[in-house]
Amino acid sequence: MDQRAGIGGSCLCGSVGFALRGPLRDVVICHCHWCRKSSGHAFASGAVADQGLDLYRPGALAWYRSSPGVRRGFCADCGSSLFWLGAEGQVRFAPGALDAPAPLRLQGQSFEDSAGDYYTLSGRPPRVEAAPARLDCSCLCGETGFSVPGPAREISACHCRGCRKSSGHYGASFAVDAVQWHGRATVAEFVPGGTGHEAATRGFCRICGSSLYHRDPDGTVHVEAGAVDGPTGGWLAQHLCVAQKGLYYALTDDLPQREGRA
C-alpha cells in the first residue's frame, strides 16, 4: 500500500488515499450538532499541520462548507468522513479513516452539552427523553429529509471497519420498519461487496456527505442516530464488532460487548 513513508489512510471504497507526516495531535471527539449530523454519531479527529497531509490520491474527495470558515471533506463515492478544515493551519483527520493503528490517544471531548439523548459521556445510562411517534431525520445541508417510526429505543454502536471508515469514528444506529421520504434527490448509496454486515449498502448525502443509513443484505434498514433532528427516545444498548475497534478509545460504559454482530 502506498503510504509515502507516512501514516496511511483511505476512504471505505479506496478512491481517496492520503498519508500523514510529522507530529500528530491526539484525538478530540466532538458532539456538536454539525459533527453528529455529518458523521451519524459523534465526530472524532486528530490533527496534523497543513503541510503534513499528503493527499496522494484525491479520487472522489469532495468538500462541504458547513459554517463560515469550516469545510468538511468526504468521499463522494462512498460517503466516508475524512477531514475537517478550519483556519488554524491544521488539517483535522478522522482516525477511523486510518488504515492501520497509529500512536494516538483520546485527548478530550468538545461540545459535550450537545451530545445525543441516547448516550452519556460518563458511561452512566442516559435519561431517555420523550420522543414523538414519528422521528424526522435529515442531512447536514438539509437537502435530504425522511421520517421513521419512533421512538428509536435500543441503539447499537458498531466498531467494524466499515462503520469506522464511514463515520470516521464508530457508528450508532437503530433498525426501522419503514422510511417515509420527504426529499431524496441528493441521496447516494455505496455497496461495498463482501458478505454479512460488511456488505451493507450505505446511504449518504452526496452534497454534504452526511451518513444517513445502512441497509443489510436481508433488507433491514438501520438509521444513523445522528440523522434524527430531535430526541431519539432511544438508548445505547450494546457494542458490536469490538474486535475491530480503534485503539485510541476505551469502552467504559459496561454495556454488552460482542466480538462480531451476533
Q: What is the pLDDT of residue 3?
A: 42
Query: Is the pLDDT score of 154 beyond 90?
Result: yes
pLDDT (tens digit per residue) in 38-62: 999 999 999 999 999 999 999 999 9
Q: Is residue 252 part of a domain?
A: no
Q: What is the pLDDT of residue 197?
A: 62
Query: Is the pLDDT score of 190 beyond 50?
Result: yes
Whether 80 and 205 have beta carbons less than 8 Å apart is answered as no
Residue ending a domain, choose from 110, 132, 165: 110
> Do residue 59 and residue 152 come from a single domain?
no
Q: Is residue 1 part of a domain?
A: no
Residue ending a domain, choose from 75, 110, 145: 110
> Do residue 123 and residue 223 come from a single domain?
yes
pLDDT tier, 129 (very low <50, low <70, confident <90, very high otherwise): confident
> Do residue 125 and residue 68 come from a single domain?
no
Q: What is the mean predicted confidence (pLDDT) over 175-198?
A: 87
Whether 222 and 167 have beta carbons less than 8 Å apart is answered as no
> Do residue 95 and residue 170 come from a single domain?
no
Which residue from 44, 15, 14, 18 is spatially nearest to 167, judged by alpha carbons? Answer: 44
pLDDT tier, 141 (very low <50, low <70, confident <90, very high otherwise): very high
> Do residue 150 and residue 194 come from a single domain?
yes
CATH, residue 22:
2.170.150.70
Q: What is the pLDDT of residue 132?
A: 81
> Do residue 236 and residue 127 come from a single domain?
yes
> Do residue 143 and residue 92 come from a single domain?
no
Which residue from 160, 161, 157, 169 is spatially nearest to 222, judged by alpha carbons? Answer: 157
Residue ending a domain, choose from 110, 134, 157: 110
Query: Is the pLDDT score of 195 beyond 90?
Result: no
Q: Is residue 154 part of a domain?
A: yes
% of the chain at pLDDT higher than 70: 95
- Give the strand pairing for 43-49 and 7-10: unpaired
pLDDT tier, 15 (very low <50, low <70, confident <90, very high otherwise): very high
Least confident of 118-122, 175-179, 204-208: 118-122
Domain range for 239 is 116-244
Please, what is the average pLDDT of the chain? Answer: 92
Q: What number of residues does the chain have? A: 262
pLDDT (tens digit per residue) in 62-74: 999 998 889 999 9
Contacts of 228 (CB under 8 A, 6+ apart): 116, 135, 136, 137, 152
Q: Is residue 257 part of a domain?
A: no
Total structural domains within the chain: 2
User: C-alpha cell of 256?
Assistant: 454488552
> Do residue 207 and residue 94 come from a single domain?
no
Q: What is the mean predicted confidence (pLDDT) over 4-9?
A: 80
Q: What is the pLDDT of residue 194?
A: 63
Q: Is residue 260 part of a domain?
A: no
> Do residue 123 and residue 200 come from a single domain?
yes
DSSP 204-248: EETTT--EEEEE-TTS-EEEEGGGBSS---EEEEEEE-GGG--SS
Least confident of 100-109, 124-133, 183-192: 124-133
pLDDT tier, 196 (very low <50, low <70, confident <90, very high otherwise): low
Q: Is residue 95 part of a domain?
A: yes
> Do residue 120 and residue 136 come from a single domain?
yes
Q: What is the pLDDT of residue 127?
A: 76
Cβ count near 126 (within 10 Å): 18
